[in-house]
Structure formats: structure tokens, C-alpha cells
A and B are shown apart, each in its own frame.
Chain A
Amino acid sequence: GQQLNQSPQSMFIQEGEDVSMNCTSSSIFNTWLWYKQDPGEGPVLLIALYKAGELTSNGRLTAQFGITRKDSFLNISASIPSDVGIYFCAGQRTSVSRLTFGEGTQLTVNP
């Protein structure tokens, strides 16, 4: 079963607002990744984090790899309607190929 706790489950915001979501785990991961899934599509990689404490940006998105290696957060600044979708965190352990996904955060942006 899932080992990652992702919150919040859903968010309803106004266009232009900033968004923050996070993911926690009871065990350590060596890589944290954030994916976005649009309806009828597969997940698309947004950001990958490889080092504890790392802060990485991709346009309006910023993600951090927690110091304990048990958590990560994703921030979206100045949200726009196309940010709507489901955001998933995923963790990976060294030498293990599989990703463990959170249950997702459903983001709705009102114009």
C-alpha cells in the first residue's frame, strides 16, 4: 500500500494565488519527484530532487527535498487556470527502481 502521506487532498484557489502542498513518509527516500496528471493523461514529471536540503525551481514551481529525507514540498506561485490537475509526489530509494506515489492533491483554480 501507499507509504507517502500527501496533503492537502484537494485545494480550491483563485487565479493568481500561491499554492503549497507537501508529502511526508515514515521512511527515507533518496530521490523525491513531483508529477502532474491531467484528466485522461499519464503523469508528467515536473521536478526531481536528488539531495537532502535541495531547493529546485522550474518556472513558477519550486520544490524542496527535506533535510530528514522523509518529506518534500511543492509550491506554485501565481497560479493560472492550466495549473488545474492532480499533483503527485513520489519517492525512490537508491538501487530500487520503483517509485512510491502519494495519493495526490487535486488542484482547482478559479479564474
Chain B
Amino acid sequence: ETGVTQSPTHLIKTRGQQVTLRCSSQSGHNTVSWYQQALGQGPQFIFQYYREEENGRGNFPPRFSGLQFPNYSSELNVNALELDDSALYLCASSAGLDTGELFFGEGSRLTVL
């Protein structure tokens, strides 16, 4: 059984650029959630995907968007990067919509200069 994998692990971008982060969910899990974790803070919910549709969104602007694919893998896209977007982006998969029992990947560390 493979766990949640994320790529890339680290990346550096400049303000105004766009970034795509990728996530493969744990086998058997059909739901993917994305969280942003700023340094020294707890994770904050961005959005969740189930059956390729967005199902719930946190307090993030529209320049944060996502996709889920038929194999349940997912992408997080951020346009027009701002300095405050620098954070660890965590992907979590789960075996259903309503469970809080999430399995997290190691995260993608984004630095915006």
C-alpha cells in the first residue's frame, strides 16, 4: 500500500509567477484535501476534491485552484504568486468525504521571492 506522495518537495518562485503542485493519494482513497501551513502555524484548509469536483473551500482567493483526476490524484495551482504564499502545502487523502482521519503527504515547501 503506497502512501500519499507529493511533488516537488521544494521549489522557489518569484512574485507573480504561477505554480503547480502534485499529489498522489493513498491507494483506496477517493478524496483529496489541500492545506497551507505557514511557518509556526497549524495547517489551514484550502479545498477538498471528491469525484473530480471541488467539495468545500476555505478562505482562499480564486487564484488558488485545483483539479482531481480519475485516478484520484490531484493538483493545486496558484496563480499570481505573492510573498505571503510562501508556506508548506500539504496534501491529504481520505477514504471518504466526511472523515477527519486524513493521511498527509510530506508536503511541498514553496518559497516566493
Q: Is the CB of B45 within 8 A of A99?
A: yes
B56 pairs with A97, CB closer than 8 A: yes
**Interface positions of B from 26 to 44, Cβ below 8 Å from A:** 31, 33, 35, 40-44
Chain B interface helix/strand/loop/mixed: loop
Q: Give chain B's interface residues, CB within 8 Å of chain A.
A: 4, 31, 33, 35, 40-45, 48, 55-56, 58-59, 90, 92, 97-98, 100-107
* Contact A102 B42, CB 8 Å, known A42-B90, A92-B100, A97-B55: yes
Question: What's the count of A-B pairs with C-beta under 8 Å?
Answer: 65
Stretch at the interface among A14-22, A43-51, A55-63, A69-77: A43-51
Contacts known (A40-B106, A41-B106, A43-B90); A31 close to B45, Cβ less than 8 A: no
Q: Does A26 sit at the interface, judged by CB under 8 A?
A: no
> Which of chain B's residues has its CB closest to A40's CB?
B106
Residues of A contacting B101 with CB < 8 Å? Answer: 33, 45, 48
B40 neighbours in A (Cβ, 8 Å) = 103-104
- Whether B90 pairs with A98 at a CB distance below 8 angstroms is no
Is A96's CB under 8 angstroms from B104's CB?
Answer: no
